[in-house]
Each structure stands twice: as C-alpha cells, then as structure tokens.
C-alpha cells in the first residue's frame, strides 16, 4: 500500500525549476533511497513530503490524503506522524543532548518528569548511546551528533522518518554504523523511511527501492539490483561516479 504519493509536483524558486512534474510512490514500511547530485533538489523534495515547502502545483498524498487540500488540523495530524533528520543534525547547541532529544516531547507537552527521562533514555539506547544525556552537542563527534538527531526523531514515534544525507561528512566506518542503525530501526519500529543520499554504498545497503532525481524528475525507480543493472546512461554514469557521460555540469 502506498503511504506517500507525489503527483506531478512542480516547484520553482525565482526562475529556477527544481521539481518538474515529479511523480513518486513510497510503499508503507519500506525504505526508499533518493539519489542525485548535489543541488539537484533532494532536500527540496523531502521538504515537500513533510510539508515544510508547498508545491507550485501537483499534490502530496499521505495515506491517500492530499496534505494541501485538507484542514489545518488534519494537516498537523498528518505531519505529526513524520519526522525529519536534517542534514548536519540541526541540534540546538545551547541545549544538552537530553534536552535536544526530548525537545519535541516537551514542546507538545507529551511527557513530564520521569516519563520524559525514560523516553529520552529509550530513544538514546535505540541509537546505541547510553549515559550521554548531560553532554552538550559541542562535546560530540560527528557520528554521535547524527545519532542524537536520529534519537530526537524516534522519540516522537513517527510512522515515517525522512533522512537528509545521514552519512554525509562522516568517515566510512561511522557511515556504515549509521546505515546499520537505519536498518535496525526499520526492523524494530516498522517505520517507512525515505533517505536522501549521494552515497551509492549506503543506497545499496539500506534501500528496498532506489529512485534517482535528475532535472526535477525521478528518472528511474527500482530495486537496488535493477538500479545496479540499469542501462540508462544517466543512471549508469551517476552510480559509477563517472565524469564522462550525458550528465554535464549545469
Ligand atoms: N528556499 C529556497 N529558496 C531558493 N532556492 C532554493 C531554496 N531551497 C533550495 N533552493 C535551490 O534549489 C536547488 C536544490 O536544492 P537542494 O534541494 O538543497 O539540493 P540537494 O539535492 O543538494 O539537497 C538549489 O539550486 C538550491 O539553491
Ligand atoms: Mg540537500
């Protein structure tokens, strides 16, 4: 069953068309990886799914409901079931790790006192971090920051988690452990995940399906095997990281 369906999405900033009649379906409980070059619109795509940006035209359906054709209350309810792990983590530097993880719970009055501490600890243990609630973000390594950002997302028990470049900027071993974590959360929490990356190793490892964004459209969508064996010259060039090919610098 489709949990998310993007239909004919268009989005321009000034004269720059970033999404161009984009169509994409995401099945409930699956992990979809969106690949594409830097600047091609991957973050913009995620922001449309989670309702931070609204399309110029087209629709974003979540469980069949168009998020922009519904009441404000229903919009909030739909978006409440999603959580995004932002590129770089976007932690609040003046708040402790625990306060960062529990931030949304506190903001929405969802837990108090012992209940809050317990939820923060549970979320941190799901990302294999223990006893670090009191630390400040500046004391964390890059990989730990990404884990804390993930703990903050899962604290809210989302049905859908969006990850923006979860392995960018960390070393390959840390990247692999973050990928393992994304997979294990998939198994444990049965969430639907959408992961944006330009790292093919991560894409093959975690994706049930992989979609490639190019010039505002999803030009191919398939299983990791199908993508790996794609004869599409654009896909071939991207997944193999080749300078020569139909994709040019512009
Ligand atoms: N809020 C915005 N206002 C104007 N331009 C934007 C905005 N957000 C993104 N863009 C532009 O849209 C394009 C795609 O950006 P982005 O989605 O961040 O790419 P990436 O694939 O690297 O995540 C870029 O050219 C970027 O400058
Ligand atoms: Mg981006």
Q: What's the 216 CA to ligand 1 centre distance in angstroms?
A: 11
pLDDT in tens, 151-169: 999 988 899 999 999 988 8
φ, ψ of residue 107 in degrees (nearest 5): -60, -35
At residue 179 the predicted structure's pLDDT band, cuts being 50, 70 and 90, is very high
Give the number of the atom of ligand 1 that is nearest the alpha carbon of residue 41: 17
18 within ligand 1 shell (Cβ under 6 A): yes
Q: What is the pLDDT of residue 250?
A: 63
Atom 18 (ligand 1) nearest CA: 43
How many C-alpha atoms does 239 have within 13 Å on its Cβ side? Answer: 24
Mutational test site, ligand 1, from 37, 44, 54, max ligand atoms within 8 Å of CB: 44
The average pLDDT across 220-233 equals 94
d(CA 153, CA 17): 30
What are the angstrom distances between the C-alpha of 161 and each of 74, 193, 237? 19, 5, 29
At 208 the three-state DSSP class reads coil
Return the bridge partners of 250, or none: none
pLDDT in tens, 95-153: 999 999 999 888 888 877 778 888 999 999 988 898 899 999 999 988 889 899 999 99
241 within ligand 1 shell (Cβ under 6 A): no
At 31 the three-state DSSP class reads strand
What residues contact 52, with CB distance under 8 A and at least 6 apart? none
Give the number of the atom of ligand 1 that is nearest the alpha carbon of residue 47: 17
Name the CATH superfamily, with its identifier, for domain 1-52+162-250.
P-loop containing nucleotide triphosphate hydrolases (3.40.50.300)
- Of the ligands numbered here, which is closest to the C-alpha atom of 44? 1
CA dihedral 142, 209, 1, 151 (to 10 degrees): -10
């Amino acid at each position: 069953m489709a949990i998310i369906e993007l239909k004919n999405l268009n989005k321009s900033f000034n004269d720059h068309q970033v999404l161009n009649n984009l169509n994409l379906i995401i099945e409930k409980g699956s992990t979809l990886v969106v690949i594409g070059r830097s600047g091609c619109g991957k973050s913009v795509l995620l922001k449309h799914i989670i309702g931070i940006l609204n399309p110029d035209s087209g629709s974003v359906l979540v469980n069949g409901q168009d998020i922009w054709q519904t009441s404000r209350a229903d919009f909030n309810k739909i978006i409440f079931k999603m959580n995004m792990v932002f590129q770089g983590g976007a932690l609040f530097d003046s708040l402790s790790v625990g306060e960062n993880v529990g931030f949304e719970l506190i903001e929405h009055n969802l837990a108090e006192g012992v209940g809050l501490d317990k939820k923060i600890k549970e979320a941190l243990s799901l990302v294999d971090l223990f006893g670090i609630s009191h630390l400040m973000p500046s004391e964390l390594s890059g990989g730990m920051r990404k884990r804390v950002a993930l703990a903050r997302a899962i604290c809210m028990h989302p049905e859908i988690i969006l990850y923006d470049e979860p392995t960018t900027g960390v070393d390959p071993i840390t990247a692999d452990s973050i990928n393992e974590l994304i997979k294990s959360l998939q198994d444990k929490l049965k969430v639907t995940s959408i992961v944006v990356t330009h790292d093919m190793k991560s894409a093959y490892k975690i994706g049930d399906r992989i979609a490639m964004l190019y010039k505002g459209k999803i030009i191919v969508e398939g299983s990791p095997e199908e993508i790996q064996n794609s004869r599409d010259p654009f896909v071939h060039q991207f997944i193999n990281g080749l300078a020569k090919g139909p994709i040019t610098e512009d």
